[in-house]
Amino acid sequence: MLTIDNVHKTFFAGTVNERRALAGVSLTLQEGDFLTVIGSNGAGKSTILNTISGTLIPDTGTVRVDDTDVTRLPEHKRARYLSRVFQDPMKGSSPTMTVEQNMAIALQRGKKRGLVPGLTGARRQLFRDKLASLELGLENRLGAKVGLLSGGQRQALSLLMATFSEPRILLLDEHTAALDPQRADLVSRLTADIVAEQHLTTVMVTHNMEQALRLGNRLIMMHEGRVLFELDAAQKQTMTVPGLLEQFRRLQPGAEQGAFDDATLFESVKTEDGH
């Protein structure tokens, strides 16, 4: 249902600042696939998400959703079928509006333009039920300003709102990276539950290899604008974090482990190694 074909993107081409972000990336996702994307800094992970969301138009190559070529479709026109959760918990909701006002807007997303629906009793009950599933006590705080919530609560709310309209494609952009480990774990579990329940086609970028192995049914490792290798569901089951690093070193013998200089990654390596 999502096909990315030989996409290239170079920033500031032909100048001293030239940066090749994507150098021929191709991917095909079936309905309900949950792809996790890992890779070194500057590998092109965010650029591939931006290409899917329409934030960036590739230099060459195509992006198709079902049978429609959306390569040059502007971002706002993709909102009908696409939702995204960002790393920054402050990004997905409005701090000066209440929990229920934010949810009412999210409910309206992707529908025909019009006024945001009123907050009827039935709608409030729907919001309460959805919030209760987060198990954060937010169902009792419908009237609270979102700016008063913790980062973890806010990110869980963003995830809920992003999936309200059951988008065709869900993009997760390191959405647990800014949270403390406990909250990251909670949002990670909520992600797995919501994606499975709605059978959402999902692309998640993460620096945390352990999370990338745990979530989803497919994984790609990117490096220097290319897909270095790909794992299917069965291969993911048996793969370990040291195994991923080993694979990376084998395919990129010149590259140092320092390419992965993220603290979360080293935490997971330590856990796997048992020290």
Where on the chain is the footprint of ligand ATP (CB under 6 A)?
A: 11, 19, 21, 39, 41-47
Q: Residue 130 CB, nearest distance to ligand ATP (Å)?
A: 31
Q: Residue 39 CB, nearest distance to ligand ATP (Å)?
A: 5
Transcribe 134-203 into DSSP letters.
TTSSGGG-TTSBGGGS-HHHHHHHHHHHHTTT--SEEEEESTTTTS-HHHHHHHHHHHHHHHHHHT-EEE
Cα separation values, 136 from 115, 133, 152, Å: 30, 8, 9
Q: Give the neighbor-by-neighbor strand order of the sheet with 19-29.
A: 19-29, 2-11, 60-65, 68-69
Which residue shows structure tokens 């070529």? 69
Of 20 and 128, which CB lies nearer to ligand ATP in the complex structure? 20
Of 50 and 155, which CB lies nearer to ligand ATP in the complex structure? 50
Tally Cβ neighbours within 10 Å of residue 12: 9
Of 11 and 95, which CB lies nearer to ligand ATP in the complex structure? 11
Of 146 and 222, which CB lies nearer to ligand ATP in the complex structure? 222
Q: Residue 42 CB, nearest distance to ligand ATP (Å)?
A: 4
Q: Residue 205 CB, nearest distance to ligand ATP (Å)?
A: 7
Of 11 and 132, which CB lies nearer to ligand ATP in the complex structure? 11
Which residue shows structure tokens 């309900």? 32
Q: Residue 51 CB, nearest distance to ligand ATP (Å)?
A: 9
